[in-house]
Amino acid sequence: MHSILISGAAQGIGAAIAQLFYRQGYRVGIYDIHLTQAQQLAEQLGERAHAGLLDVADYASWQAALSDFCQWAGELNILVNNAGILYSGAFEDTPIEAHHRTMAVNVNGVLNGCHAALPYLKQASFARVINLSSASAIYGQADLISYSASKFAVRGITEGLDIEWQKYGIRVLDVMPLFVQTAMVKDMDAATIQNMGVHLSTEDVAQVVYQQATVKDSILTNTHRAVGLKAKTLMQLSSISPQWLNRLSNSLLAKRH
């Protein structure tokens, strides 16, 4: 029986991932800075679910969480770096502390998780890492500067480690959704979300995470998977369009009406 540890799993996308993998027979680790919510979800799911405290920006917290999980589950097969935060609005109107916090959680959280988990992943019979990137990592997004930048970093971490960890037989992949119906996007101050809309559910993202986590390892397995038609279209167009056209299209999407 394979196991999965999900960061930021108490609610939103993380909770949907936990629920889906539990239904598929996995041992599921629900780790979050909100411990009570994580414990409640684990109790709802059943005996193959285990909750724990995790502050992804704290490396020692990762070490404790991984030790706790592997003592319970036996081994770590799939790590999902899902925890993330978002601040929206004009760059200069967003406190610098908020920009720094975004990087600490969204970027350092992934670095910490991958680094601390590697010894456990190397010992597993099957191992894979799935990172939550975003369609915001296709082109830098106005009014979402630090969030977009953090997801570009996640994309880079994913690409680099997917190559570097071939020697261990570990694939490192990501998923790149557009806006998802979660508390994170509620009252967002960014014209892009108003122009593009919110059409993805947490279950939509969970399904693609499951596909990335279970797809047969092959040279043809894509490191990145866009989630939803709009994200797929934007990703495809950005790869073939000249830079000036990418800038123009993103400027139009960021225009306030």
Q: Which residues of 138-169 are buried (b: 16+ CB within 10 A; e: fewer)?
A: bbebbbbbbbbbbbbbbbebbeebbeebeeee
Catalytic machinery residues: 147
> Distance (Å, rounded) from C-alpha 256 to C-alpha 4?
41
Query: Edge-to-edge, what's the strand order for the sheet holding 128-132?
Result: 49-53, 27-32, 3-7, 78-81, 128-132, 171-177, 224-227
Instruction: Quote the Cα angle for 146-149-152, to 5°.
Output: 155
Neighbours of 175 (CB within 10 A): 27
> Distance (Å, rounded) from C-alpha 18 to C-alpha 27?
9
SS3 state at 29: strand
Q: Is 111 left (phi over 0), alpha (psi -120 to 50) or beta?
A: alpha
> Distance (Å, rounded) from C-alpha 127 to C-alpha 74?
13
> Distance (Å, rounded) from C-alpha 250 to C-alpha 237?
12
Among 174, 163, 73, 164, residue whose Cα is nearest residue 125: 73
